[in-house]
Amino acid sequence: MKEELKKKGIDMLVPFLVGGAVGAGVALLLAPKPGKEIRNDLKRFATTTKDRVTLAVDRGKGLYEEGRAAVASAIDAGKTAFVEGKEKWQHA
């Protein structure tokens, strides 16, 4: 299940990022600028995009870990409540 969620998130993120990169690239190529300026713009855009993706991935990992810890805590609380309820029922 964990792997499915991870794969689903990546499957949704990749087309979004590729579409954004392609759209930005096309916009830059159609802009009335000299080739050197366009290349510099593309390099700057690639660097910025890489930084943003790295940030997004790091945030995603943090959220994943927080969610995983919350689920583990809830499972432990559920197990404890079940055992306590079972013991009360057996002694009643």
All structural domains of the chain with their residue ranges: 2-91
* Among candidate residues 14, 20, 1, 4, the one with its CA nearest the CA of residue 57: 14
Which residues neighbour 24 within 8 Å (Cβ) at sequence distance 6 or greater? 45, 49
- State pTM to two decimals: 0.49
pLDDT per residue of the chain (92 residues) written in tens, 0 to 9: 556 655 566 667 777 777 887 887 777 677 777 778 878 888 898 899 889 888 988 888 889 999 999 999 999 999 999 999 988 888 76
Cα–Cα distance, 22 to 28 (Å, whole number)? 10
User: For the chain, how many residues are written?
Assistant: 92
Beta carbons within 10 angstroms of residue 90's beta carbon: 7
Token digits of residue 46? 């690639």
